[in-house]
């Protein structure tokens, strides 16, 4: 079977390192691997509106930010179709049909929805659109017959719910849809990169993000004020690695060649960790090392962003072309879906002929 990728992001802000290690970096590798027949990258503005209905300008203004982040990370519109969710009406249509296949209690059990309801203090005043966004996400994935969805760990319940909808649809209406697989980051530290404050996750509302578009100086400052081990007060004190954000970031970003380049006194990360744990290694030194690594990773991204920023109309043209191409694919799937659901009345000559016969029309 041909392999197809679909993934995306909500345009509620610029993308940060959590997005980068959790998904974006991998997408670029997958794009360039040549293993995939088609790659769809969606800017999920309609999903972002499910909990930002009163703030449409926030979503509107962040479409270009996300598109610039994509391009500067190396997503290439000649290899990946980048498109805007809301412009594909077929996705709403598909969601409407899927809603008949999902129960309220199943949605209430979706762990991501549960956590997000709590985080946003929605309690019982959840917008229906927000509550049902897992169904809409199933439409995003299945409209493109995606086989592979590279996302962060927090999206696992969404993919599971999608798979259930696919199985239900196929069993009720006949084999039509493709059951997708999740593709998680392969490095544990990348699964859930904590914020610079050591809190569970990078999140704009917590102000603990390093953005891909931050200046070199911003990145340096954020690293220098990063959460480490609060018990590691004097350089001589033994330090903890677990829960130490600087080391979590090193686990996510550090490669052996970084030692050769920036810190040849150590042979590798294990030796560095050992020294820190024994005591005698100050946080500032480790932070400087992390800064060198992150600057090396982010500088080419920043440079490419500057180039793309010079032609904003060109970026919108790219999005429009991507959206048109994506819409054709979704429309073809919807034709299959309508046929399977027996609502393809006007395309079905047999239906019309048999009804004509039933009513005694002359042939
Ligand atoms: N829910 C995803 C996020 O929070 C965005 C998204 C919407 C998505 N539709 C998708 C991701 C389909 C993968 C597949 O970032």
Contact (Cβ atoms closer than 8 angstroms) between residue 126 and residue 157: no
Probe target for ligand 1 pocket from 10, 59, 182, with the most ligand atoms within 8 Å of CB? 10
Task: Look at the pTM and tell me if it is higher than 0.75.
Answer: yes
CATH number of 204-308: 1.10.240.10
Predicted pLDDT of residue 152: 83
Q: Which residues pair with 9 in a beta bridge?
A: 43
The segment(s) of the chain belonging to CATH 3.40.50.620 are: 4-192+313-353
Q: What's the gap in Å between 194 CA and the centre of ligand 1?
A: 20
Q: What's the gap in Å between 9 CA and the centre of ligand 1?
A: 5
Q: Which atom of ligand 1 is nearest to the CA of 154?
A: 4
Probe target for ligand 1 pocket from 4, 9, 116, with the most ligand atoms within 8 Å of CB? 9
Q: Tokens representing 358?
A: 């039933």
Residue among 274, 204, 282, 272 at smallest CA distance from 237: 282
Helix ranges (H only) for 123-253 are 128-131, 133-142, 156-173, 188-191, 216-224, 245-253
Predicted pLDDT of residue 327: 98
Contact (Cβ atoms closer than 8 angstroms) between residue 74 and residue 114: no
Predicted pLDDT of residue 112: 86
Predicted pLDDT of residue 299: 97
Whole-angstrom distance, CA of residue 41 vs CA of residue 75: 9
Predicted pLDDT of residue 92: 98
The segment(s) of the chain belonging to CATH 1.10.240.10 are: 204-308
Integer-rounded Cα radius of gyration of the chain: 24
Q: What's the gap in Å between 49 CA and the centre of ligand 1?
A: 13
Q: Which atom of ligand 1 is nearest to the CA of 140?
A: 12
**Mean pLDDT, contiguous 10-residue spans, the chain (363 residues):** 94 94 91 96 97 95 98 98 98 98 94 83 82 97 97 91 98 98 83 86 87 96 95 93 95 94 94 95 95 97 97 98 98 98 94 95 84
Which residues have CB under 6 Å of ligand 1? Answer: 6-10, 44, 47, 137, 140-141, 149, 151, 155
Predicted pLDDT of residue 243: 92
Predicted pLDDT of residue 91: 98
Dihedral over alpha carbons 103, 104, 105, 107 (to 10 degrees): 90
Say which CATH superfamily domain 4-192+313-353 falls into: HUPs (3.40.50.620)
Whole-angstrom distance, CA of residue 62 vs CA of residue 214: 15
Probe target for ligand 1 pocket from 155, 162, 166, 180, with the most ligand atoms within 8 Å of CB? 155
Q: Which atom of ligand 1 is nearest to the CA of 19?
A: 15
Q: Name which residue sits closest to atom 9 of ligand 1, judged by CA.
A: 137
Q: Which atom of ligand 1 is nearest to the CA of 47?
A: 7
């Amino acid at each position: 079977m041909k392999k197809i990728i679909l993934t995306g992001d909500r345009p509620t802000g610029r993308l940060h390192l959590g997005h980068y290690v959790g998904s974006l970096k991998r997408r670029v590798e997958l794009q360039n691997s040549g293993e995939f027949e088609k790659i769809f990258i969606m800017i999920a503005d309609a999903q972002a509106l499910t909990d930002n209905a009163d703030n449409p300008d926030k979503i509107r203004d962040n479409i270009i930010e996300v598109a610039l982040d994509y391009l500067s990370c190396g997503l290439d519109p000649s290899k990946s179709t980048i498109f805007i969710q809301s412009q594909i009406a077929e996705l709403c249509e598909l969601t409407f049909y899927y809603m008949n296949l999902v129960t309220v209690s199943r949605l209430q059990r979706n762990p991501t929805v549960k956590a997000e309801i709590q985080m946003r203090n929605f309690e019982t005043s959840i917008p229906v659109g927000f509550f049902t966004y897992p169904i809409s996400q199933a439409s995003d994935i299945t409209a493109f017959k995606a086989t592979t969805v590279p996302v962060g760990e927090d999206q696992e319940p969404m993919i599971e719910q999608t798979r259930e909808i696919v199985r239900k649809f196929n069993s009720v209406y006949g084999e039509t849809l493709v059951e997708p697989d999740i593709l998680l980051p392969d490095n544990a530290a990348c699964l859930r990169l904590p914020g610079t404050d050591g809190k569970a996750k990078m999140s704009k509302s917590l102000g603990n993000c390093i953005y891909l578009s931050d200046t070199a100086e911003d990145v340096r400052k954020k690293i220098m004020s990063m959460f480490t081990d609060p018990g590691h007060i004097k350089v001589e004190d033994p330090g903890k690695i677990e829960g130490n954000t600087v080391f979590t970031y090193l686990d996510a970003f550090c490669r052996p060649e970084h030692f050769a380049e920036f810190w040849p006194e150590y042979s590798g990360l294990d030796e560095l960790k050992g020294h820190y744990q024994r005591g005698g290694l100050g946080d500032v030194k480790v932070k400087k090392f992390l800064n060198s690594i992150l600057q090396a990773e982010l500088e080419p991204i920043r440079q490419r962003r500057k180039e793309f920023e010079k032609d904003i109309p060109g970026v919108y043209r790219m999005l429009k072309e991507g959206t048109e191409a994506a819409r054709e694919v979704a429309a073809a799937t919807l034709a299959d879906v309508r046929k399977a659901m027996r609502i393809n009345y006007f395309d079905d000559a047999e239906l019309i002929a048999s009804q004509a016969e039933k009513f005694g029309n002359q042939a």
